[in-house]
Amino acid sequence: MQTQPSVHPSGAAHITGPARALTTRATRTLPIDRWLLRTFLRAAGNPPVRCVLPNGEAVYTGDGAPVGTVRFNDRRALHRFLRQPELAFGEGYTDGAIEIDGDLVEVVAAAYGKPMHPLVDRLFFSARRPRANTLAGSRSNIHTHYDLGNDFYRLWLDDRMLYTCAYFPTPEATLEDAQIAKMHHVCRKVALRPGERVVEAGCGWGALAIHMARHYGVTVRAFNISHEQIAYGREQAAREGVDDRVEFIEDDYRNITGTYDCFMSVGMLEHVGPDNYRELGAVIDRSLLPHGRGLIHTIGRTRPARLNAWIEKHIFPGGYPPTLREMMDIFEPYRFSVLDAENLRLHYELTAAHWLRRFEQHRSEVARMFDERFVRAWRLYLAGTTVAFRTSLLQLFQVAFARDRFNGVPWTRAHVYASPASA
Amino acid sequence: MQTQPSVHPSGAAHITGPARALTTRATRTLPIDRWLLRTFLRAAGNPPVRCVLPNGEAVYTGDGAPVGTVRFNDRRALHRFLRQPELAFGEGYTDGAIEIDGDLVEVVAAAYGKPMHPLVDRLFFSARRPRANTLAGSRSNIHTHYDLGNDFYRLWLDDRMLYTCAYFPTPEATLEDAQIAKMHHVCRKVALRPGERVVEAGCGWGALAIHMARHYGVTVRAFNISHEQIAYGREQAAREGVDDRVEFIEDDYRNITGTYDCFMSVGMLEHVGPDNYRELGAVIDRSLLPHGRGLIHTIGRTRPARLNAWIEKHIFPGGYPPTLREMMDIFEPYRFSVLDAENLRLHYELTAAHWLRRFEQHRSEVARMFDERFVRAWRLYLAGTTVAFRTSLLQLFQVAFARDRFNGVPWTRAHVYASPASA
């Protein structure tokens, strides 16, 4: 709201800029280039994607018709890609040195659709820790992504500005309805009761905090270190008349004080980093009353792997999606009893597809706010997210838990499905 | 069926026998005994349980009225208890050297109801591996418990002979209905379709295998190493007219062959042992088709701990209830995607309470089949099980999973709750 469309927030500085590829190009192609690319494609499982070398020569190792074409317009971009595929593909696509003909999502999906050679797999997906999420580091990491301007996110998120996986009762549901359903889904899982006190860690633009106060009669203290999001949340809470029951606090989850009936965190754990899970557990442990329950909603993995290198560098600095095993560092030291874990992977594929479609509809406005490089980078990020959930590179876990000796937990999960989530 | 009530199967040999305490007793009590017991009770959090020394002197460190009384009739039993509380309590109660006045469940619950001193806690609950579950070891371990005679189990299990946690749609449901609901619950979670092939690992008396064939139109290969259970299962399948679709195989889960649409295991993992989880995962990995799903239902823990020493020695040799983290050794190496984990801890408290009530109703028949020591041991085991789930020492996890790239998994879990489970 406060951000002017013409201002480039600092968080976008490393993506925006002149398109290098448009100025200088090395289009010469040597036989070694062709050989290296073919070898790479074979190790990657011969995906049904046609590649075109800088001199215009096509290379294809797949069976049947290709899904689309990847053009390496620049020999340097090709060689960088062969060395560091994730990072160089993202950067090359951003600056135009790499182009894609065909549907971006389908081409990226085709590239990830085949089982890779174990060595390739190990090289690109071996576990590596993300950059540190210290108190200062987290503030910088979060600023980079979430302070790009509320006007930007408003262009392609739902009208309540939820930037986390939605819950689609059926695949045909609208994104708006699915985000409301998601909020009811998490509230029902922890069985919120009127008058209870909830602490929310990483509250985004405040939609869930406001929803809990409005629909479940609870009071909420919502923590977030994104300045723009907190300001928006406060404004919204006042507009919806719940500012007496929702308190937004611009501070780190590690500084949460007070005791609560429920700990809620939707889409923050991705930014916490595995080194800090035990400390997060300690925060929850000191915050929860004896009958306390909680829920953590996070992007996850089937096995440990670093985030895509380009995403970690340019989109989500410090991001790390955990496995369920890694998440147990939050619960096990404090004997929290895990009540329920649900994997909503395919709901995130659909959520990201909605976002991508809306983003494309507003691409000219995004280009005016930032520039063409930014449009290309974010298009690739949203398409890649869609693909990552479709191909199971990423999972979406909702984990509900409680104090181990609390016997007042819901008897079954039937109440979660008792009636359609109402707006 | 085949076992005669008068026969003592070998599995009960270590529990049955003359009641030692009835023959010799050391009732002398020294001041050190009182001091040691008081110290122990304080370290155990001063539970509201009155203790009586062999000379009749009462010791009580709790607040308010005691829930019941533990009588140490024998000085040796007292000292063994102070050194090895779990083992000596079970053995002392079995042979009558330790007696309890008041409701057995409530007294045991009171003993576990207070937070223990961390040292006591560490001493008694530190992780220790159970005895080996090699192919031969497993056969012996399973024989000890499950081949006590079908006539014995028929006395206190439901009429379909399910010896695992039931699912009570409401706490008022009968045990019979709750076991049927449990079978529907697990079948719905993996979305069985007519014509599919299911492999069941550890099938008990065959009720679930028969249920899946009858109600979901699948064919089942059910593995179990308990001879008596397999024989019973075959007879039941023939009686219910599904013996053309249910094949019972008396063999270890490690010897499963063939490929299947679904892997199902209810109540076996407790007997597998954490050293074998990776191998179990490999069995599942080689058995499941690309669209394969599975479900593992097991007793578990909030954090690693050995089984109660007395239970492990006398009731469940080789038993080990895992944490969710430990269970990931099954899934993570093979990239299975965990879809759903549900904790039914309080349903097991209720199931065990049903079993205990029925057991007590048939105690004179059990005494005729075995002897009074056996009755006391199994009463304590069933009461202790009730308490362990009530106080969260044990959890009950149902974990549904699928091949990570299979996108045909149920869109939501609403179908699990779509209608009351039908008989």
If you classify domain B10-125 with CATH, what class do you get? Answer: alpha beta
* B337/A331 touch (CB, cutoff 8 Å), yes or no: no
Residues across chain B: 423
Q: Is the pLDDT of residue B327 over 90?
A: yes
What is the band of A8 on the pLDDT scale with cuts at 50, 70, 90?
very low
Q: Which CATH code for domain B135-417?
A: 3.40.50.150
Identify the band that residue B7 occupies on the pLDDT scale cut at 50, 70 and 90.
Answer: very low
Mean pLDDT on B123-150: 67
Residue of B nearest to A395 (CA): B337
Q: Which is higher by pLDDT, A305 or A237?
A: A237
What is the reported pLDDT for A162?
A: 97
Strands B68-72 and B58-59: unpaired
As a whole number of angstroms, the distance between CA B254 and CA A10 comes to 58
Q: What percent of chain B has pLDDT over 70?
A: 88
pLDDT at position B298 over 50: yes
* Topology match between the domains B10-125 and B135-417: no
Question: Are A328 and B333 an interchain contact pair (Cβ–Cβ within 8 Å)?
Answer: no
pLDDT at B15: 67
Burial call A299-329: b when 16+ CB within 10 Å, e when fewer? bbbbbbbbbbbbbbbbbbbbbbbbbbbbbbb
Confidence at residue B22, expressed as pLDDT on a 0 to 100 scale: 46
Residue A405: which of B333, B340, B391 has the nearest Cβ?
A: B391
Confidence category of residue A19, pLDDT binned at 50, 70, 90: low
| Amino acid A18: pLDDT | 57
Express each pLDDT in A51-75 by its tens digit. Answer: 999 999 999 999 999 999 999 999 9
CB contact under 8 A, A302 and B335: yes
Q: Confidence class of residue A35 from pLDDT cuts 50, 70 and 90? A: very high
The residue type found at B272 is V
Cβ of B411 within 8 Å of Cβ of A333? The answer is no
Contact state of A392 with B337 under an 8 Å Cβ cutoff: yes
* Residue B83 reports pLDDT greater than 70: yes
Does the pLDDT of residue B328 top 90, yes or no? yes
In chain B, residues 169-188 whose CB comes closer than 8 Å to chain A: 169-171
Does B395 sit within 8 Å of A337, measured CB to CB? yes
Determine whether the interchain pair A337/B343 forms a contact, defined as Cβ–Cβ distance below 8 Å. yes
Q: Which of B325, B345, B390 has its CB closest to that of A332?
A: B325
Q: Which residue has the higher pLDDT, B279 or A124?
A: B279
Residues of chain B positioned with their CB less than 8 A from the CB of A331 = 302
Give the residue-averaged pLDDT of B281-309.
95
The reply to whether B395 touches chain A by the CB within 8 Å rule is: yes
Q: Is B340 on the interface with A (CB under 8 A)?
A: yes
Q: What is the DSSP letter of A204?
A: T
Compute the average pLDDT of residues A171-198.
Answer: 98
Q: How far is B125 from chain A (nearest CA, A)?
A: 13
B168 chain-A contacts, CB cut-off 8 A = 411
Q: What does the pLDDT read at residue A129?
A: 54
pLDDT surpasses 70 at A123: no
**In the prediction, which pLDDT does A251 show?**
95
Write the CB contacts of B262 (distance below 8 Å, at least 6 apart in sequence): B190, B192, B196, B197, B198, B199, B218, B288, B292, B293, B294, B295
A171 vs B contacts (CB less than 8 Å) = 411
- Using the Cβ of B362 and the Cβ atoms of chain A, whether some distance falls under 8 Å is answered with no
Which range among A237-241, B128-132, B193-197, B414-418 shows the weakest confidence by mean pLDDT?
B128-132
Chain A hits for B413, CB-CB cut-off 8 Å, are 342, 413, 416-417
Confidence of residue B124 (pLDDT cuts 50, 70, 90): low
- What confidence score (pLDDT) does residue B10 get? 46
CA distance A366 to chain B (A): 33
* A325 with B323: Cβ contact below 8 A: no
Whether residue B230 has pLDDT greater than 60: yes
Chain A residues with beta carbon closer than 8 angstroms to that of B339: 342-343
- The residue ranges of every structural domain in chain A are 10-125, 135-417
pLDDT at B66 over 90: yes
How confident is the model at residue B23, as a pLDDT? 47
Quick check: B343 and A339 CB within 8 A? yes
Mean pLDDT of the region B249-269: 97
Mean pLDDT of chain A: 89
| Long-range contacts of residues A71-75, Cβ cutoff 8 Å, at least 24 apart | A71/A98, A71/A99, A71/A100, A71/A101, A72/A97, A72/A98, A73/A21, A73/A25, A73/A27, A73/A97, A73/A98, A73/A99, A74/A21, A74/A25, A74/A26, A74/A27, A74/A98, A75/A26, A75/A27, A75/A28, A75/A29, A75/A33
Q: Who among A323, A392, A412 is closest to B332 (CB)? A: A323
Note the pLDDT of residue A7.
Answer: 35
Q: Which of A138-147, A297-306, A391-400, B322-331 has the lowest mean pLDDT?
A: A138-147
- In tens, the pLDDT along B12-21 reads 656 666 555 4
What local confidence, expressed as pLDDT, does residue B115 receive?
Answer: 67
The verdict on B392 touching A (C-beta cutoff 8 Å) is yes
> Which has the minimum average pLDDT: A8-17, A128-137, A273-282?
A8-17
User: What is the reported pLDDT for B121?
Assistant: 63
Reported as a single tens digit per residue, the pLDDT across A250-286 is 999 999 999 999 999 999 999 999 999 999 999 999 9
Residue A290 C-alpha, separation from nearest chain B C-alpha, in angstroms: 13
Residue B394 has pLDDT above 90, yes or no: yes
Residue B147 scores a pLDDT above 90: no
> Is residue B125 scored above 80 in pLDDT?
no
Of A126 and A399, more confident:
A399
CB contact under 8 A, A339 and B342: yes
Q: Which of A165, A397, A411 to mutate to test the interface with B (most CBs of B within 10 A)?
A: A411
Return residues 298-317 of A near B (CB < 8 Å).
Answer: 302-303
The predicted model gives A352-361 an average pLDDT of 98
pLDDT at A160 over 60: yes
- CB-CB contact of A84 with A105 (8 Å): no
Q: Which residue of A has its CA nearest to B348?
A: A411
Position A316 scores a pLDDT of 83
